[in-house]
Amino acid sequence: MSDPNYRLLIADDHPLFRGALREAVAGMVERADIVEAGTFEEMSKLLEESDEVDLILLDLAMPGVRGFSGLMFLRAQHPSVPVLVVSANDDPSVIRRCMDFGASGFMPKTLGIDEMRQAIKKVLGGGVWTPPDVDLSGGADAESAALMARLSSLTPQQVRVLMMLSEGMLNKQIAYELSVSEATVKAHVSAILQKLGVDSRTQAVIAAAKIEVGQWPQAAANQN
């Protein structure tokens, strides 16, 4: 793999692990352009500046992300860019749901450098990579599958609003963070409730929590 034009984004809040991923890429690509982000906001800003990325290596648990929300945002905002999830949580149900949400692969943080290179090479080549020793044959139940489909229908901005709702933020706080009006936030909340088939913001966060395998906080503001 000697293509000098590969551009990769490593999104992980641990500098040492970002270094390990950079080392893995350096050993297989002669001249790759690698950019790094330690938070969701940094990742979003980098992608806004240039979305010409060949691969995103995404940590599920970095700051600013709740559960699968970072992956959901990327699939909605940048559907053509492959995402290889990197996580310390290698529970088969987590891996399965990452793939259901559109990830091109899942790489446990326990992998050695050689295995990381195999995974990255497979996804860069247009393939899919998951740990060979993990059984992913069991699909989600009908209720979870329907909920994941609803969550996948959210726009990137609606995903961000739902993330903030999960933190208990008020409309005015969300409006400030997103640099939009409160009326715009209310419109996003209404659309989220409609798409998820629930009646309140609290129910929206609880609904999302059902598929997060304990990763999405269930705290939500009481404001409706």
* Domain range for 86: 7-124
What confidence tens digit (pLDDT) does each residue in 118-127 have? 999 999 889 9
C-alpha–C-alpha distance, residues 184 and 46, integer Å? 25
What confidence tens digit (pLDDT) does each residue in 19-64 have? 988 888 877 776 778 899 999 889 999 998 876 899 999 998 888 8
Buried b (16+ CB within 10 A) or exposed e, 66-75: bbbbbbbbbb
Q: Which residue has better confidence, 209 or 204?
A: 204
Strands 33-37 and 105-108: unpaired
Position 99 in a domain: yes
Instruction: Take residue 133 and report the two structure tokens written for it.
Output: 């020793």
pLDDT at 84 over 60: yes
Q: In what order do the strands lie in the sheet with 83-87?
A: 33-37, 7-11, 55-59, 83-87, 105-108
* Rounded mean pLDDT, 83-102: 88
Q: What is the pLDDT of residue 168?
A: 87
Residues 199 and 156 in one domain: yes
Domain count along the chain: 2
Handedness of CA 79, 197, 205, 138 (dihedral sign): negative
C-alpha–C-alpha distance, residues 20 and 24, integer Å? 6
Q: What is the pLDDT of residue 171?
A: 94
Position 1 in a domain: no
Residues 165 and 99 in one domain: no
- Beta partners for residue 55, in sequence order: 8
Residue from 217, 216, 11, 206 nearest 94 by CA: 216
Residues 84 and 148 in one domain: no
Q: What is the pLDDT of residue 206?
A: 85
What confidence tens digit (pLDDT) does each residue in 130-175 have? 998 877 776 666 777 788 888 889 999 999 899 889 888 999 999 9
Position 137 in a domain: no
C-alpha–C-alpha distance, residues 139 and 145, integer Å? 8
Residues 74 and 158 in one domain: no
- Beta partners for residue 129, in sequence order: 105
C-alpha–C-alpha distance, residues 207 and 210, integer Å? 5
Q: Which residue has better confidence, 212 or 48?
A: 48
What confidence tens digit (pLDDT) does each residue in 58-76 have? 998 888 877 788 898 898 8
3-state secondary structure of 107: strand
Q: Which residue, of 98, 124, 150, is where some domain finishes?
A: 124
Q: What is the pLDDT of residue 176?
A: 94
Q: What is the pLDDT of residue 141?
A: 67
